[in-house]
Amino acid sequence: MARIIAVANQKGGVGKTTTTVNLAACLADEGKRVLLIDMDPQGNASQGVGVDKNTCEKSVYNVLVENMPCEDVIQATPYENLSLAPSHRDLVGAAVELVTEERREFRLSDAMAPLQEQYDYIFVDCPPSLCLLTLNALVAAFEVIIPLQCEYYALEGLSELLHTIIIVRENLNPRLTIAGIALTMYQHTNLSKNVVEDVRGHLGDSVYTTIIPRNVSLSEAPSFGAPIIHYAKRSAGALAYQALAEEVKSRG
């Protein structure tokens, strides 16, 4: 059975997509069968594994709005063992199109049920809001990884996200747990250090030991459509995401 992991935080630009793409790529590189689902209309995760969302005829949009089987939209990526269910800009309107539909929070979950035997890991990259797309991801997932940027406002909005997770667990998906909090974009400054202490103080063991540093290679890799282990294998960013992938694996 696949571990289905949503990567969520309604705060923008905290490293959701970077974390999703790179965890998926590290585990695929180890031989795990990995599916990446891009639930963000921005399509950054699709681009991060070398797929242009504008050229995809079938996407997560068709799954959510037209009940197309998930299998029909999944495509190979240039990377072995790593498949993608791409995003499409039409996803922006999916929430409105589904507003009168029953079980609209379950669209992704229902569509993914037949896939669970085919993969070891399924990662779902969420958009930066607590919208119906994120809700679909949280309902489909067993676990959530929450990236937090090592910046002053790191904890802002976190209580809202944790509250949403509790509501989802109580009403829609009782199996949902928090896999871990991933600290991202760490810099060797007092501010970053203080944020790490603060977050660990508040959230304790749920915070992963591995901290992802701010690393230029990590920000360059997406423009080459390459996960960091394929773009700059020996960079600090690659080593950090490999370590985080090991932690995700061992904590599962």
What tokens were used for 192? 């970053």
56 near 97, Cβ under 8 Å?
no
83 binds, options ligand ATP, Mg ion, none, Cβ within 5 to 8 A by partner type: none
| Cβ distance to Mg ion smaller for residue 120 or 132 | 132
What tokens were used for 36? 């990446």
What is the smallest separation between the CB atom of 163 and ligand ATP, expressed in angstroms?
19
122 near 6, Cβ under 8 Å?
no
Candidate residues 2, 5, 8, 15; the one interacting with ligand ATP per rule CB under 6 A: 15
Name which of residues 183 to 202 contact ligand ATP (CB under 6 A). 184-185
| Cβ distance to ligand ATP smaller for residue 49 or 212 | 212
Between β-strands 207-213 and 75-76, what pairing exists: parallel, antiparallel or unpaired? Answer: unpaired
12 binds, options ligand ATP, Mg ion, none, Cβ within 5 to 8 A by partner type: ligand ATP
Candidate residues 17, 47, 77, 81; the one interacting with ligand ATP per rule CB under 6 A: 17
Q: Find tokens 């289905």 and name the residue.
A: 4
Q: Taking Cα atoms as reference points, which of 60, 135, 61 lies closest to residue 97?
A: 61
Candidate residues 5, 8, 15, 16; the one interacting with Mg ion per rule CB under 5 A: 16
Contact between 43 and ligand ATP by CB under 6 A: the answer reads: no
User: Amino acid identity, residue 119?
Assistant: Y
